[in-house]
Amino acid sequence: MTDITVPTLGESITEATVGQWLKATGDAVKKDDVLVELETDKVSVEVSATEDGVLSEIIAKEGDTVEIGALLGKLSAGAGGAKAETAAAALPEHGGPKDPGGVPGKAEKGELTDVQVPTMGESVSEGTLSTFLKAPGDAVKKDETIAEIETDKVALEVPSPADGVLAELLVGEGDSVTPGSVIARISAGGSAPAAAPAAAAPAASASAPAATGERPVAPSVRRISAEAGVNPADIPGTGRDGRATKADALDYVNSAPKAAAAPAEAKAPRDIGPREERVRMTRLRQTIARRLKEAQDTAAMLTTFNDVDMTAIMALRKKHQEAFVAKHGIKLGFMSFFVKACVNALREVPAVNAEIDGQDIIYKNYYDIGVAVGTDKGLVVPVVRDSDDLSLAGIEKSIADLGKRARDGSLTIGDMQGGTFTISNGGIYGSLMSTPILNPPQSGVLGMHRIEQRPVAINGEVKIRPMMYLALSYDHRIVDGKEAVTFLVRVKEALEDPERMLLEV
C-alpha cells in the first residue's frame, strides 16, 4: 500500500484545496498518471501516481483544504493493477499476450528511461514546454538538451538522463508542466518503439476528463463564484484543459469591478488582417506585463529628476583604463560608479532601500542592486549581491557575468530574486529622459540616460560639458519627496566627485 500525499507546493504555500479527482476508487493506474489536482492561491498542481497499481481509497474529498504532507488517498498494487497490465498486453499493438514477437513492449517496459522536468527554482511550480529540440527516433547523448521550458522568469533546458533514442513525447509544445513530471522517454541503445507514439495518445486521454461540452468546475471555484455572485463559466481558465483554478477565480472576482468600468479591456480578441500576425506572448513577457501593471496599480509612484556632469568620471576612466584592464581583465565602465553612488545614497536615505509589507516597513541593511538587462525575450533584472562589499572591478565583473548569462538564457531564479534597489540604463539605447517603473516590492529605481554635450553655467561662465539626466522613480507611500530629492542629489554629488566617494570622505 502506497500513500498519496500532498507534495511541497512552493515557498510560503502551506495548504491547498482538492480540486478534482481524475481517477475513481478501484481504477487501475499507471506510474505518472495524474490522480488528483490541487489548487493553491497561485497555481494548480497535479499529483501523479508513483507506481502502477489500483486507487484503493480516496481520503481527501473534492473541496477539502489540505496541508503539505497530508494524506490524499492510498494506492495498492492489487489484482486490478495486474488485470490492467494484462489487458494492455493483449492489445494488438503490444504483440499479443506472451507473444515472442512483442519485443517492443518488452523494450518499452525494461529499457525506457523517463525524462523529467527539473526543479525550476524557488517559488516556481509551473512552466510551459516551449520547444522540443529532438524528435522521436533521434539519437541522444546523456546531458544533451532535449527540450526547453519557459517559466515566469527564465528559460530552462531539460537534459537527457541517458544515452539512447528518444522513444516518445508525452506532452506537446505549449503544454504546462510541473517539476518532476515526465515529458518524454528515452530508449536505451536501440530504435524508438513503433508503438510509442500510439501509446502516448491513450495515456494523455486517460488523465483528461471526458468531453461534456463544458469545462468541469472545481469546488473552490464554485464557492468563490457563488460568494461573488458571478457565473463560473465566465472565468477564463489557465488550468488543465482550460479549467479555471482557484487563482483564476480570485483574479476574476477581484478585477470584476474594473472590468465593468472598462468593458473594452475584456473584449474578445479581434480578427486580424492579411498583413498582421498574432503571436502568443511568452511567459516571461506575460510576467513583465503583469508586474509592471501591478507596480502602477499598487504603488504611489512618482519620479524626480536631476542631471549630472560626467566630466570627472570620464577623465578618471580615461586616465586609468589601461592599467585597470591589465590588472583586472575587464574594462572600467560607468555602471560600477553608479552602483557605488547608489549604495552610498541608500545608506543615507534607507527608505529608498526598504519595502512595504502590509502595514509594516521592512528596512534592509544590505545592498543587493538589480541591474536591468535587455534580452531578445524581454527585460530581466539580475542582482549584484552585497554591492557595498565589492570593489569597482568586482562590480564590473558581476555585471558582465550576469549580462552574458541573461542574453544566453542561463540565469537562474536565484540570480533575479531579492534585489533591494534597481538601476536601469536606457542610455545605451539612446534615451535622453524617461520615467522608469518600479520593480515590486522595491521602493526605488534609478534611470540612467545617454551622455550629451550641453552648455551649462559654471562659476558664471558657459561651458560645454558631458551631461546625463537622472530619474528616480519611487513609492511615495514610503519615500517622502524630500528623501527622494536628497537621494538623487547624493548620487549626483558622488558621481561629480568620484574620488571623495571612493575615499568615503
Just list the catalytic residues.
476, 480
DSSP state for residue 439 in the 8-state scheme: -
Q: Characterize the bridge pairing of strands 53-58 and 164-169.
A: unpaired
Q: Which of 409, 397, 365 is nearest to 151 (CA)?
A: 409
Q: How far apart are CA 453 and CA 162, in angstroms?
A: 59
Cell of 358: 502590509
- For the record, the C-alpha cell of 67 comes out as 496541508
Residues 180, 184, 188, 189, Cα dihedral to 10°: -150
- Phi, psi values for residue 39, rounded to 5°: -120, 135
Q: Tell me if 402 sits within 8 A of 415, measured CB to CB.
A: yes
Residue 259 and residue 240 in contact, taking contact as beta carbons nearer than 8 Å: no
Spatial contact of 411 and 380, defined as CB atoms under 8 Å apart: yes
**Residue type present at position 225:** S
Grid coordinates 545614497 are at which residue? 345
Closest of 446, 336, 444, 338 to residue 395, by C-alpha: 336
Q: Are 24 and 206 in contact (CB under 8 A)?
A: no
- Name the CA dihedral angle for 462, 463, 467, 471, rounded to a multiple of 10 degrees: -20
Asked if 245 contacts 239 with a C-beta cutoff of 8 angstroms, the reply is yes
Cβ–Cβ under 8 Å, residues 250 and 230: no
Q: Which of 277, 280, 281 is nearest to 290 (CA)?
A: 281
**How far apart are alpha carbons 72 and 9 in whole angstroms?**
15
The C-alpha cell of 283 is what? 511567459
364 closest CA partner among 353, 349, 379, 375: 353
CB-side exposure of 237: number of CA atoms within 13 Å? Answer: 20
**Residue 43: Cβ-neighbour burial (10 angstroms; 0-12, 13-18, 19+):** buried
Give just the sign of the alpha carbon dihedral 56, 57, 63, 66: negative
Q: What is the end-to-end Cα distance of the chain in Å, rounded?
A: 71
| Residue given cell 542592486 in the structure block | 369
53-58: strand order across its sheet: 2-5, 71-76, 53-58, 28-29
